[in-house]
A and B are shown apart, each in its own frame.
Chain A
Amino acid sequence: MSAVILHGRTVVPGVAEGEALVSHEPISGWGGIDPARGVIIERRHELYGVCFTGKILVFPSAKGSSGWAGFFQTTRLTGTAPIGMVIGRISAKSALGAVVTRVPAITDLDADPCEVIDTGDWLLLDNSTVEVTKR
């Protein structure tokens, strides 16, 4: 399979390689994830019950409570964090969230990452680029 390379802006510098977990809907932190298990718990969410631990989380934006970053920081402290973030549109919540999760993160891509990337695709997130290998 040929790879597609997306270009964007570095949010948190670094390199991460792994499987994509794509959400087409914004993600809530507080009330949206259980940091003890690394699972999305918002009942109305397309990824309800899905675990993001060890995945590169691809999502359009952060929504909801200002506890967003604190909850994702807790995933780092409890070992349930994603290994990278591809963020469609940055906000204070997701920027701080990526910083305190301390995982490579990218935004402002030259194509909509939630359309180009599918769950299960293999990603190489390298600072300001994402190499997408279709599963």
Chain B
Amino acid sequence: MFLTDAEKAMRDGAEGPAVAAAMDLLLRYGAALDASRLCDIRNVAGTMTQPSPVKARLVKEHGWDKAFAVINLDSDGDFEVPPMAVPTCQLQHGFGADALGIVPYPKENIELQADGEAFYGRHGVNILATCTPYQVGNLPMRGEHCAWMESSAVIYANSVLGARTNCEGIASTGAASLTGKIPCWGNHLDANRSGTHLVDVRVRVDNFQDWGMLGYFAGGVAGEDHPVITGSIGQPDLTDLKHFGAAAATSGGVELYHIPGITPEMPTVEAAFGGAPLPSPAVYGPAERRAVYETLNEIGTSADVDFVLLGCPHASVDQMRRAAAALDGRRLSASTELWIMAPRALKDVADRSGYTEVIQRAGGRVLADSCPAMSRAAPAGTRVFATDSAKQAHYLPAILGIEAWFGTLEECVDAAVTGRWNGGLS
């Protein structure tokens, strides 16, 4: 891999042992990718504060600097962590102190994370604490090279914003935060941003649920490649594409898609394929839509719903407003809990707008920072949950060993109020 003189100096220790360890990881990683060089970045979204058993042990025995070295740089070295070299934010992590007594979640984790927030805050990490940094002020520019984790944020940054990032990991974002460098590979290169699969939508996709199901289908079709969506689609909003991307990154490994006329980078279907002949399309019609719906609901057998989860990826203000409207004047079933996960900054907006109060009056909760999948925590005794998120319907059964129902926000709220799942594909 080609290195500039400045990069060689970093590798050789000119900026201290932590930066040298970061460069060492980037060199091993770049070689693994067969990357030809590094690129400069000024926007890192990673995870440093998230509690884990390994981190708890490292911090207890050796302190936070060692935990960063091992987990965030994959280094065996002993050194102090310097300030972040470029703007760096913390993505979603565990629950905070305000979840105590609501979420069955270890107090030790809350304390470890609070300690971590203080440590990393001192080192210049912005504690956004959300899987949707693009909802709370971290909005990369079109063409901006970034080093982001979180598959649903990566696909949003690449596709909706036209920024450029691979789906980075804990160690590569850690190394990027101290160097402002990441291997210039994959999505960073013009040649790799064309479409590869054509999805022809023949059933109207015009609401949140349908955008999620279409995303789940597109991920199944394209795998790790780049689907191009055309056909019978309405105008999506941020919330719709947040759901679409999260689903496509879940069923496949999609990091970049194009919707010509909607997303910014490829104005036409022809442009999206770089002038190459169009591939034969994968048709998304009524039968394919039903098949996706049934896949997302195949884990559900009992209609007795213990738990309703909204806000994956973290809810927009509009999703909280809609949940409040659906819950207004109603009361949750005694046997059911309802949680809405949101970025803390947007929960503050919901609090001020009165939405949180309406949701709480019905018996629901608005929670920040985390989610049941991230923190492996659901209400005690949960056996069956319902969600409006294709991503959570996919993951949570595996993570918590529970059954899942997937439906609309309104069906989920009805399930929370009645304790029964009555959803169905309209």
Write the residues of chain A forming the contact surface with B, with a CB cutoff of 8 angstroms.
9, 11-12, 26, 31-32, 36, 41-43, 61-70, 73-74, 77-78, 89-93, 95-100, 102, 105
Write the residues of chain B forming the contact surface with A, with a CB cutoff of 8 angstroms.
25, 28-29, 32-34, 47, 52-54, 70-71, 74, 148-151, 154, 166-172, 185-186, 223-224, 249-250, 252-253, 299, 373, 395, 397-399
Among A26, A61, A92, which residue has the most Cβ atoms of chain B within 10 A?
A: A92
Among B33, B249, B250, B399, which residue has the most Cβ atoms of chain A within 10 A?
A: B33
Chain A residues with CB below 8 A from B395, complex form: 31
Q: Closest residue of chain A to B58, judged by CB?
A: A77
Chain A residues with CB below 8 A from B149, complex form: 66-67
Q: Closest residue of chain A to B147, judged by CB?
A: A92
Among B54, B148, B169, B223, which residue has the most Cβ atoms of chain A within 10 A?
A: B169
Q: Closest residue of chain B to A32, judged by CB?
A: B398
Q: With A43-B397, A43-B398, A92-B166 given, is the CB distance from A62 to B172 under 8 Å? A: no
Do the beta carbons of A67 and B169 come within 8 Å of each other?
yes
Contacting A66 at CB < 8 Å: which of B28, B74, B151, B373? Answer: B151
Do the beta carbons of A69 and B32 come within 8 Å of each other?
no
27 contacts between A and B (CB under 8 A): A9-B34, A26-B223, A31-B399, A61-B253, A63-B223, A63-B253, A64-B253, A65-B150, A67-B149, A69-B172, A70-B170, A73-B170, A73-B171, A74-B52, A78-B54, A89-B224, A90-B32, A91-B166, A91-B186, A93-B167, A96-B32, A96-B168, A99-B29, A99-B171, A100-B169, A100-B171, A102-B74
Q: With A77-B70, A95-B32 given, is the CB distance from A62 to B398 under 8 Å? A: no
Which 3 A-B pairs give the minimum distances between C-beta atoms?
A69-B169, A95-B32, A92-B166
Bound-state CA distance A105–B54 (Å) is 24
Bound-state CA distance A9–B249 (Å) is 27
Chain A residues with CB below 8 A from B151, complex form: 64-66
Contacting B224 at CB < 8 Å: which of A91, A100, A105? Answer: A91
Q: Closest residue of chain A to B45, judged by CB?
A: A66
Among A11, A12, A95, which residue has the most Cβ atoms of chain B within 10 A?
A: A95
Q: Closest residue of chain B to A91, judged by CB?
A: B224
Nearest Cβ on chain A to B79's Cβ, whole angstroms: 18
Do the beta carbons of A26 and B32 come within 8 Å of each other?
no
Do the beta carbons of A91 and B169 come within 8 Å of each other?
no
Do the beta carbons of B74 and A100 come within 8 Å of each other?
yes
Nearest Cβ on chain B to A92's Cβ, whole angstroms: 4
Contacting B169 at CB < 8 Å: which of A32, A43, A96? Answer: A96
Bound-state CA distance A26–B168 (Å) is 18
